[in-house]
Structure 1
C-alpha cells in the first residue's frame, strides 16, 4: 500500500522547470497562466458553474507544480457563493520536491501565503491518497500519488470537471491511454466536462470509446488544436442530496463528522442527551499517535491518513495557539514490554520513509528500542471537543430509534416524538444500539490518574511504552490508562490509580516509589472497541463499491450511517472517518482509497463471527 516514489529530476531554464525523465516542460514558456485559464478553467466553464455551486469536484491527471490548482482556487474565491465546497482531486506519479514547487509557483506570482499553506501540509512522497485542507476557502485537495490508472481505480466518488494535463502524450504514454480514460469516465457523471491541451488522434479515439463526446478547438498561443468534451452517461442519478443531516453523539466522532458535513454545506443537527464530550470523549489526556507495524502497509497507510486528518482539524480549530488543548508535542515510544520491543525493533530496522516519515529512530536496542513520533501530540480531548462544538447546533435530547427509508431517515426520541432527516449518522460510542443493523462494539473501561509530581524526564513530550504519561501544568501529569474488561464495574477506583503508578514506574525516577507520589485526581471512561481495533464507518445499506461508466453514481447511497468504535485510537481515526463519511454522503471524491475504506466498513462484521474481546 505505501511505497516510496521516485523524485523527479529537474533542469531549470530560468524559472521554467523541465523534467529530465520526459524532456518536457511543466507549463507553457509563454503566458502559462493564460494557458491554464483557456485550456482548463474556461474550457470547463468554471466561473459560471462556480457561481451556482453548492458542492463541486474537479479531477486532474497531473498535479505537477500545482499551478492549475492555485489558479482554480483563485477562480473559486472570485465566483463561488458563501458556503460552497470545492473538492480537487489530482494524480501525480513524481511529486516535486518542496523547494522546487515553491520556486515554480513563486515565479508564476502565486501568493506566498497560499504556497506556504500547501507546503505546511505537503505529503511525503509515498503512494496513496493524501488530503490537504484549505478551510478558509472550504476547499480540499486530494493528491493521488502514483500512476494515474491504478490510483484513480481506487477512488470513490464523482467529478464534475476534468483537467487532462501532463507531459505530452508522445513522451508520457502511461498517462494518455484507454486505462486512464476509463477511470476518468468511471468517476464522471452525466454532463461532466473536460479540457486538455492536446488533440492527438489516439487521445480523441480513447476518450470517445470511454464515453466522452469531444470537440476540437483552436490551441493556445500557436498550438494547433486542443480538446473539450462532455461525458455521455446512460443514466442520471435521481437520488436527492442529503442537505439536512442529524448526527447522534457529541463526542469526537460525532463533532468531527458534523463539522465535515457543515463544511460541505449541509444543515447539521447534533443530538446528545448528555451534552458535548460528557462521556468518553471528555478524556483530559488523549494521545494522537500512529500505530505502526513494519510490513503492515494497510495499517500504516491508515495511520498516515489519520495523522494528516487530525492534524488538519487541530490546525483549523486553532489549537496551536491554545496550550489548554495541546498537552504535549511529540511522542517518545519506548519498547518497555516484550511485544512492544519486538514491534519497535522491526520498525527501527526498516526505512521510516516507507511509513511516510511518521517516526524517527532514537535508539536501536534489542531490549528497549526507542522511537519518536514528531507529529504526535497529547490532547485534552474534552476541551478539543468543546472547541469543535462552537457554532454547531447541539440539542441535548435522547434518541432511542433510527430507521432508514428510501428518501429520508427518521429518528425517534425518548419522549415519543419523531423527526425526519435526509440522512442520519450514529456516532454514539458505547451507547445502546439505535437500529437493528448497527454493529455493536465491546465496552472496555479505562481510568487515568493525575499526579502532582515533577517528572524531569518528560518535558513537553509525551511518553508511551507500558501505559503513557502526558504533562499537564504546574507540575501535574496524567498517567494511564487501565483497560478494565468488566465495563459494568464503572467509575474511579483507587486500585486503578495504583495500577497506573506501577505500570508507569519506568517513565521517571520520581515514579519508582508508589507511596511517595501524590495522586491529585482521576478520570474514568467507557471505551467502545471492535475486535480489530478499527472503527466502523459507512452506510448500513450495502451499495456498490465503485460505479461503472454510464451508471447513476449516487443512486445507492443510503440514509443511515455509523461512525463507531473509536475507543482504542479515536484521536487518530475519528477526524479521518468524518471526512470519509462526509465525502460519501455527498458522493465527492473520498479521502481514503477504496481498499482502505473497506477495512472500516460496518458491513465487515456481517461476514464474521461476533467480535471477541480485544487484547490489551
Structure 2
C-alpha cells in the first residue's frame, strides 16, 4: 500500500540571508540573489517558464479558438514556494488571454510558507502588488490536501496541493492508472517543473513523479525546468517527453524544455472504475437549469456562472432559500476529528474553503465572522476536543484550545466549561440574504414553478421540466437537481438513500445576559449572537415528524440542550421563564441527510443499467469489473448537505462545476467518490441489498 504522506506537510523554516529567503531544510535559496529581485527573479521566471512554454503566443492564439471544448488553460507546477511563478503567469494571463477564458494553476508543495513569512517575502514585489494582495487575502490555512484559491473575480483558479508532489498529483487524477488519468478531463497544458534542485531535494525528482506528470499530459503539453541533471532528463524521456537542452538563465549553463510525445496504451483495469461515465463528455452548449434555490442550488449556479455557463434556477417559491435554507441564522459549523477517513477530511477541506469564500460577505456586513466555539457536553466529547487540539496544535489560525478564562472572555458569558475549541475564521450568515445576494451578483435568472417530473428528449439532447399539470416549464441540455430531501422524488433518482429530518430552531428575544454573547457556541446544540434583537438556537432532530408547525416541546428541548452544553448558558437565559416558552417564535423545516453523513454531489447513474453492469459485486465485493458506469446524460445532483449546508456548499458546488465542465476537481479522487451519487448503488450491491 502507498504510504500516506499527508502527515509530512510542515511549514517551511525560513531564514533571511542577505535579504533573500533561505530554506534551511533544503539548504537553498528560494530565488537567485545576484541582482535585485525585480530585475532578476521575475526575469528568470519569464525566461524559463513563460517563454520556454511559449505562453504568450499560445494565449494570444486562444482568441481564434471560439469552438474549443474547454475554455480553460491548465498549468501544472511542482514546488509552489513563494508563489513567484504563479503570480508571473497570472500577470501575463491577464494581459494576453481572452476574457472568456480562465486559467487553472495546479501547484504542489510539501513545505508551504507561512502567511507571515510569505507576506514579508511579497513586500518587495511591487510589480505584482494587486495580484499578491488577492493571493494573500485568500491564502489558505496550511493543512494537508487540496486548497482552492480564486483571483481576478474567478478567472484564475489556484489549486494548491499540500503534500508530497507525486502523491498529490495522482490523487486528483481520474484514475490511478496512467492511461485513464485524464480520461474525459482537461489535461495539463504546460508544466513548470520547479522546486529545490535534485541534489537538495532528490525525494521529489523521481521517475514516479515524471510518469504521473506524463499521465496528466496530452500531445500539446509542454514543460520547462531549471535543471539539466541527467537523471531528470532521462526520467522525462522515459515518461514520454522530448527533452531539449537550452541555455540556462544567468550564470546557469543549461536547462531543459520539451513537449509530451508519448502515448499510453489501454490496459486491463486494476480496479472498478464505476465513477467514469461511459458516455463522452461532449456538451453542445453551456445551458444549465438547476432545480432548487437553496444554498446548494445558488452556490452551484455561482460556480457554473464563473465557468461561462448560462444558468437558470427553477424554484417553487418566488424567492430563494425558503425551505431548509431559510433560517434567520446559519452557522459555518466545524466538524473535525483526529481520524483521517473521508468524513473528517471532507469536513476540513470544506470548512477551510468556506471560511475564505464567505469572507467577502462578512466584509459587507452580512452575518458575522464572530468565530465559533465548541464546548464539550460529555467525557467522550471532552476527549475528542483534546485530540483535535493536539492534532492541529500547529494551526492556531484554524483552531485554538481555550481554558475557562479564555472561554468566558471570548464568549462574553460566565461559563463553567474548562475546555473549549475556538475557530476564529468561522461565524454565521443569514441564508436567505446570502442566496439572494449571490443570485443578484451573478445575474442568475430565477423561474417560479413546482417541478413534478423531468424527461430527456434524445432528439435535441434536452432535459424537459414539467409541473404537476404536465406543462413544460423549461428545458436545457444540462440539469442539476438541488431539491434537498425531494431529490429522490424523480424516477431517475428514486434509488437514492436520503432521509427527511425535521429541525426546529428557537428564536430568543429575551432581555438577559445571553444578549452579551459575542460568538457562536456549539455543543449539544448551538446558539448564535444577537442579530436584530433575535438569537437563534437549536436545532431539534425529529425523525419521522413531517409537520412544519412549531412545537412548544421542541423549544423546551432546545433550551434544555443548551443548558446541558454549559449551565452558564442556562443562567444567561434565566429571565426566560418556562411558562413563557410557548410564546417563543422559531422556524421548523427539513434537512436532507444521508446515512454516511456525506453530501451527494456528482453525475446521476442510470440505476437499472448500472446495477446490471456491476451485479458481480453481489458475489464478490472485491471484483474488478472492466467497464465504465452507465449514467443519465447530463443529469447531476447536489444535495444531502444535512445541517452543514453553509460549510459544505462552496466546496461541493465547485466539485460539481468541475465535473460538469470536465475540469480537474478541487479535491482528491477518493473524497469525490465518497460523495458520489452512485456510491449508494455500489454499496448496496456489495451488501447484497439490491
Give your verdict on TM over 0.5: yes
Correspondence 1:96-245 to 2 at 5 A: 96-136=113-153, 138-156=155-173, 158-232=187-261, 234=263, 239-241=281-283, 243-245=286-288
Q: TM-score, normalised by structure 1?
A: 0.88
Q: Which digits, 9 at most, give the CA deviation of each residue in 1:35-71, with x for residues without a partner? A: 1111111222222333427312111011111101111
Residue 151 (structure 1) shift: 1.3
Mapped contact 1:426–1:561 kept (Cα < 8 A):
yes
Q: Does 1:24 align with 2:28?
A: yes
CA distance in 1, matches of 2:117, 2:382: 39
Residue 609 (structure 1) shift: 4.5
Correspondence 1:285-434 to 2 at 5 A: 285-296=329-340, 298-316=342-360, 318-322=361-365, 325-327=366-368, 329-337=370-378, 339-348=380-389, 350-353=390-393, 358-363=398-403, 369-390=419-440, 391-399=443-451, 400-403=453-456, 408=461, 410-414=463-467, 415-417=470-472, 421-431=476-486, 432-434=488-490
Instruction: State the partner residue of 2:551.
Output: 493
Aligned CA RMSD, in angstroms, stands at 3.1
Residue 138 (structure 1) shift: 2.0
Instruction: State the partner residue of 1:452.
Output: 509
Q: Which digits, 9 at most, give the CA deviation of each residue in 1:437-489, with x for residues without a partner? A: 45241101111111211342552211221221112335421121111112423
Q: TM-score, normalised by structure 2?
A: 0.79
Give SS of 2:546's match: coil
Instruction: State the partner residue of 1:48.
Output: 57
- Match for residue 307 of structure 2 among 261, 264, 269: 264
Give SS of 2:507's match: strand
1:419 to 1:145, Cα distance in 2 relative to 1, 3 A: same
CA distance in 1, matches of 2:464, 2:164: 44
Give SS of 1:376's match: coil
Q: Does 1:509 align with 2:571?
A: yes
Residue 418 (structure 1) shift: 7.5
Mapped contact 1:469–1:477 kept (Cα < 8 A):
yes
1:97 to 1:423, Cα distance in 2 relative to 1, 3 A: same
1:235 to 1:254, Cα distance in 2 relative to 1, 3 A: farther
CA distance in 1, matches of 2:222, 2:603: 29
Higher normalized contact order (CA 8 Å, seq sep 6+, divided by chain length): 1
Residue 133 (structure 1) shift: 2.2
Correspondence 1:570-589 to 2 at 5 A: 570-589=645-664
Instruction: State the partner residue of 1:69.
Output: 86
CA distance in 2, matches of 1:473, 1:6: 40
1:9 to 1:600, Cα distance in 2 relative to 1, 3 A: same
Give SS of 1:176's match: coil
Residue 511 (structure 1) shift: 2.7
1:335 to 1:7, Cα distance in 2 relative to 1, 3 A: closer
Residue 407 (structure 1) shift: 9.6
CA distance in 2, matches of 1:137, 1:442: 35
- Match for residue 498 of structure 2 among 441, 447, 451: 441
Instruction: State the partner residue of 1:550.
Output: none
Gaps of 5+ in 2: 64-70, 174-184, 266-278, 408-415, 611-627, 686-690
Residue 150 (structure 1) shift: 0.9
- Match for residue 19 of structure 2 among 11, 15, 18: 15
Gaps of 5+ in 1: 544-552, 611-616
Count of residue pairs the alignment pairs up: 596
Deviates more, 1:556-565 or 1:152-161: 556-565
CA distance in 1, matches of 2:152, 2:465: 34
Residue 346 (structure 1) shift: 3.7
1:356 to 1:162, Cα distance in 2 relative to 1, 3 A: farther
CA distance in 1, matches of 2:52, 2:15: 30
Q: Which digits, 9 at most, give the CA deviation of each residue in 1:297-333, with x for residues without a partner? A: 54332222112222232134x33222xx315611222
Give SS of 1:58's match: strand
CA distance in 2, matches of 1:535, 1:605: 12
Which is richer in helix? Answer: 2
- Match for residue 247 of structure 1 among 258, 275, 290: 290
Q: Does 1:468 align with 2:526?
A: yes
CA distance in 2, matches of 1:65, 1:407: 49
Q: Which digits, 9 at most, give the CA deviation of each residue in 1:246-284, with x for residues without a partner? A: 222111111111111111122222222224112111121
Residue 597 (structure 1) shift: 1.6
CA distance in 2, matches of 1:435, 1:189: 39
Deviates more, 1:357-366 or 1:139-148: 357-366
CA distance in 2, matches of 1:367, 1:308: 26
Q: Does 1:6 align with 2:6?
A: no
CA distance in 2, matches of 1:59, 1:294: 31
CA distance in 1, matches of 2:663, 2:240: 21
Give SS of 1:460's match: coil
Instruction: State the partner residue of 1:78.
Output: 95
Deviates more, 1:568-577 or 1:514-523: 514-523
Instruction: State the partner residue of 1:548.
Output: none
Deviates more, 1:260-269 or 1:583-592: 583-592
Instruction: State the partner residue of 1:530.
Output: 594
Give SS of 2:325's match: helix
CA distance in 2, matches of 1:212, 1:173: 20
CA distance in 1, matches of 2:541, 2:661: 38
1:375 to 1:112, Cα distance in 2 relative to 1, 3 A: same
Instruction: State the partner residue of 1:597.
Output: 672
1:369 to 1:22, Cα distance in 2 relative to 1, 3 A: closer
Give SS of 2:522's match: strand
1:577 to 1:363, Cα distance in 2 relative to 1, 3 A: same
